[in-house]
Amino acid sequence: MSVVFIDGPMVEKFLKDSDAFGKCIEERFNTLDVNKDGVLSRDELRNEATDLASVELMLQSKEEVDNVYDAIFEKFDTGKKGTLKHEEFSLLMKEVIQAQADGIGKTPVCIILQEDSLLQKVV
């Protein structure tokens, strides 16, 4: 873990750097694709949330968490196969990180990041 100062514009700059963002997403996708079938299942995505110790998800009921994954797959699983391809995962992560940038705003904030956090790549 590390303590960093970050602001929304820094995060948005990272998102606009297609090479840096693409490399990070590819690495994360390959790490999550445990069975190496080229797509991410719900279980593989669920492991991502667990690995990142998402406190918000840990505090939710199983039904609420299932609803989150239902919404994710409804929006991003364009083939409706119950898996996310690399491109779909990239769109998901871009939306998530943009939401983080919007939430952080323009004033720098001090946050604690895990070493494998995508936001770690911003600083």
Per the rule left: phi > 0, alpha: psi between -120 and 50, beta: everything else, 85 is beta
pLDDT digits (tens, 9 = 90+) for 79-105: 999 999 999 999 999 999 999 999 999
Q: How far is residue 30 from each of residues 59, 64, 105, 122, measured CA to CA in Å?
A: 28, 27, 30, 20
> What's the pTM?
0.86
Name the residue among 50, 46, 30 with its Cα closest to residue 38.
Answer: 30
Task: For each of the domains in the chain, give its residue range(s) and CATH number, in order of start.
Answer: 19-102 (1.10.238.10)
| Residue range 44-63, pLDDT digits in tens | 988 765 544 455 566 778 88
